[in-house]
A and B are shown apart, each in its own frame.
Chain A
């Protein structure tokens, strides 16, 4: 039987094949990736697009959480100062309700309270990066201005709008509470009660001052219960942050499963491919040069 006398084609094909296996294994070991172009594993490459998007989303959510945490903490700090100032105002109101005080003393207290009123307006106008925190969605102008013509002593320039920000897939967090809901809600009106107290001390009776002080107390209770919103929001941010950090780890390991090379397997493949390549070369070196001519002297 006649066989193919020219081995060089087959031998070269074998050498190229082992070399290409060696290259693939080497590429996997050196890049640590099994899928370098989509055709290496089309489905994994397509899923990687989703994985990368998820991972970038998680990065952005974490960045949102950082920004929001600082905004919400600033708001909470401002409210903490507000609570202190109102507490001080209540103490002064109790003093002013005492029937034995002279008119001059009452005027003195009223003046102190006006100072607190200014301080409260300043706190209600707290801003971060030019954006006012307690104006609802009207964040470009100070929400409160002193206004002696108004029965509450102030004017609210904001609105009742709230914003939500996405901090995880399917999780939108409300990020602000409008000033009219915080300070002047159905449970009580901080500015209104304070103005009434000032008016009572300036020109009214001790009983009127006492009534106003009690109203201020009720408004104070209402404010502290509204303030819990900020505490809860910060808490929610913290727990979501932990969740997202875990998700990032999961996504990285998913990415590794999709396109990462199994290094043990890749290294074994490389050794195997090298051995096969060496064998092909050795076989070529043995077979190709021999012919009958070697034996005819």
Chain B
């Protein structure tokens, strides 16, 4: 039969176990708003039993460990969706800026083209009118400016994204070095059989931040996690991190290099960095090519027809738009070659009053360029392209926001701190502690009784 002192020591164990469990609750409540925190539970176990006089007695309770509650697969899916989300969001932000350039249908290159053809039409009613000739040159220059503006606004957006590349790479390197450090600690603690919950929470939160910057692939190894880019360029292996480098060595644009010096710019597709590179290297060049084709093809066909006519002095028409026929920067360098209004080749028969060539020039409005569309349709195709890109990015953002929200909810339902639950636990531990304390008092009073027996009262 165990003695009273055994009961006393079991009661004291109960006090300390419940006090310990209460401290887990306290910690959970304290971290209720900490991003990435996984709730912990106190793992209470029965203490080893002991036998006396053939009877097995319970040995009380032990607080074995604090364990954090997590679902690592869910965590991986959150990384996956986060890089998708921040990729689409980055693209959407840039596309919204790009759209601004093309949002007013009566302005921009389209509006300037209409105005230019209208000025030719106006001149055709009186081809010798100097004011109307001057108006043609003015609207031709406006057309040139509208090309320049469209190009420069696209380039400005591209340059902004380009500047963000080294900044993002810096952030990535900072995160990977922190992750590597925490990764080492987690592996070490696991090796010692300890729960690495808090460290793991911090590491996972940093990986989540990293996945919003770049697409990563996470593999679990015995030495902790291995992080690589989606194409296998190592970022974190055990407690070592490999820094990426950004520089603009051989080109005007920033490129991203692995530690080994391999250019991995085109392989980066996810996250903020992937989104920025996608817009900078794919979308903007594609739109610029479209503008350049329009500028170059329009200028070529206009110049050809202009050369077929005669100016106010009866001389053959000169080059009207410059320069030609380069298509690589046609929109940026689009210019008007003539400054003297009398050089506009309005006439088809050499006499000043003829407007025959103007009629031919105006007809270019409806003629197909080599691209297969007339100038205005080519421009509206560009607007369609911009609009579709924006609409698709918006849909991607909505979809990935929803997935991230759902996954976060799921994660939270596993790992999130519930104040109600913690309050309940608090009451449970408090009551258990109270009861334990009552046992101590009772045993104490029993011992007192025992002492008094000895006095023989």
Contacts and interface: CB of A to CB of B under 8 A. Distances in A.
A161 B408 CA distance: 79
Contacts of B128: 130-131, 139-140
A166 interface: yes
Interface stretch (A56-64, A75-83, A191-199): A56-64
Main secondary structure of the interface of B (DSSP, over half): helix
A165 B132 CA distance: 15
A37 B129 contact: no
Given A129-B129, A131-B129, A137-B347, A5 B416 contact: yes
Closest 7 A/B residue pairs (Cβ) = A42-B387, A39-B390, A139-B353, A38-B387, A5-B418, A49-B380, A137-B354
A56 B353 contact: no
B102 A38 contact: yes
Contacts of B95: 39
Contact of A57 (B114, B355, B412): B114
Interface of B: 32, 95-96, 99-100, 102-103, 105-106, 110-111, 113-115, 117-118, 121-122, 124-129, 347, 349, 351-356, 359, 362, 366, 376-377, 379-381, 383-384, 386-391, 393-394, 401, 405, 408-410, 412-414, 416-421, 423-424, 427
B124 A166 contact: yes
Contacts of B388: 39, 42
Contacts of B122: 60, 63-64, 67
A291 interface: yes
Contacts of B405: 9-10, 13
Contacts of A175: 125
A13 B401 CA distance: 9
Interface of A: 2-6, 9-10, 13, 36-43, 45-53, 56-57, 59-61, 63-64, 67-68, 71, 128-132, 135-140, 159, 161, 163-166, 169, 172, 175, 259, 291-293, 296
B419 A291 contact: yes
A161 B354 contact: yes
A138 B351 contact: yes
A90 to B, nearest CB: 32
Most interface-central of A5, A64, A164 (chain B CB within 10 A) = A5
A67 B125 contact: yes
A47 B122 CA distance: 25
24 contacts: A3-B413, A4-B409, A9-B408, A37-B387, A38-B390, A42-B391, A49-B110, A52-B111, A56-B106, A56-B115, A57-B118, A57-B121, A60-B118, A64-B121, A71-B125, A128-B126, A135-B353, A137-B353, A139-B127, A139-B128, A163-B127, A169-B366, A259-B105, A291-B419
A62 B274 CA distance: 52
Most interface-central of B102, B126, B347 (chain A CB within 10 A) = B126
A37 B103 contact: yes
Contacts of A139: 127-128, 351-353
Contact of B351 (A63, A68, A71, A137): A137
B115 to A, nearest CB: 7
Nearest to B411: A4
A163 B356 contact: yes
Most interface-central of A2, A48, A49 (chain B CB within 10 A) = A49
A2 to B, nearest CB: 6
Nearest to A259: B105
B413 A46 contact: no
A49 B420 contact: no
A45 B105 contact: yes
A161 B114 contact: no
A47 B99 contact: no
A140 to B, nearest CB: 5
B423 A292 contact: yes
A6 B354 CA distance: 80
Nearest to A163: B355
B121 A159 contact: no
Given A59-B118, A68-B125, A163-B127, A49 B412 contact: no
A51 B105 contact: yes
A50 B377 CA distance: 7
Nearest to A61: B121
A165 B103 CA distance: 33
A137 B114 CA distance: 27
B380 A46 contact: yes
B409 A9 contact: yes
Given A37-B100, A56-B115, A135-B353, A50 B376 contact: yes
Given A38-B102, A135-B353, A293-B419, A49 B126 contact: no
A199 B383 CA distance: 73
Contact of B349 (A64, A137, A165, A291): A137
Contact of A42 (B106, B384, B409, B412): B384
A5 B353 contact: no
B423 A50 contact: no
